[in-house]
Structure 1
Amino acid sequence: MNSIILLIILGFIGWFWFDTLHSQERAKVICKQVCKNLHLQLLDDTIVLVRLRLRRNSRGRLTVQRTFQFEFFDGERQRGIVIMRGIALEILEMPGYMDRIISPV
């Protein structure tokens, strides 16, 4: 019985880790594309997870909302955020360029 519970917990941790990596990769692609379109440089080619929350989507189901932070260069170092719900973009903020882009999730 204990081994079944352990396997379930390990399975959940594995799923959550891979889901977070998938969401982070999707967010990185979005950030790269937006920076390219605005003729900016995504610095260090990385984004950092800064917050995790459980939120309900438009159908009332619980989903994981992840907030990532990234830096871009426009003559000086700037910081932006991207909020993903699952692998879908929810909010993108780039001060000075995009105050807030909100996508329906």
Structure 2
Amino acid sequence: MSHLLIVCLLLLLGWFWLDSLRAREIAIGLCQAACRQRDLQWLDQTVALRRLGLTWRSEGVRLRRVYRFDFSEEGMERRRGYIVMRGLNLEELSFGLPDRVADA
């Protein structure tokens, strides 16, 4: 019985590791595309996990991950943004910048 429990725990740990890698890769791609779209320089080419938790929604229980990333508007100043992933789906992406208004 204890061998079965150990195998189940190892399988769960393996699933969590692979799911975390997949979520991180998706977050990296989303941040890279968002920075390119807004003409921002994405620094360090990576995201860092800041928070991990569970969230309950109508579709069930999902892992909620909050990643931090650094970017620069003009190459002089380092700023921080964050991206929130619920499961493998984007929940929120924030640069902490005011919305740009088109010139009239």
| Common fold by TM > 0.5 | yes
Q: Distance in 2 between matches of 1:73 and 1:97?
A: 14
Q: Distance in 2 between matches of 1:81 and 1:90?
A: 11
Query: Does 2:21 align with 1:21?
Result: yes
Q: Secondary structure at the match of 2:12?
A: helix
Partner of 1:69: 68
Deviations, residues 47-77 of structure 1 (Å, cap 9, x unaligned)? 0001011001233x11100000000111311
1:1-105 aligned at under 5 Å gives the runs 1-59=1-59, 61-75=60-74, 76-97=77-98
**Runs ≥4 in structure 1, deviation > 2 angstroms?**
none
Structure 1 residue 95: deviation in Å?
A: 1.1
Q: CA RMSD in A?
A: 1.1
Q: Distance in 2 between matches of 1:16 and 1:57?
A: 20
Structure 1 residue 41: deviation in Å?
A: 1.2
The percent of aligned pairs where both chains have the same amino acid is 36
Q: Secondary structure at the match of 2:97?
A: coil
Q: Distance in 1 between matches of 2:44 and 2:62?
A: 29
Q: Secondary structure at the match of 1:23?
A: helix
Q: Distance in 1 between matches of 2:95 and 2:67?
A: 12
* Counterpart residue type for residue 35 of structure 2: C
Q: Secondary structure at the match of 1:62?
A: strand
TM-score, length-normalised on structure 1? 0.88
TM-score, length-normalised on structure 2? 0.89
Larger strand proportion of the pair:
1
Unaligned runs of 5+ in 1: 99-105
Unaligned runs of 5+ in 2: 100-104
**Corresponding pairs, count:** 97
Higher alpha-carbon Rg: 2
Structure 1 residue 97: deviation in Å?
A: 4.9
Q: Secondary structure at the match of 1:30?
A: helix
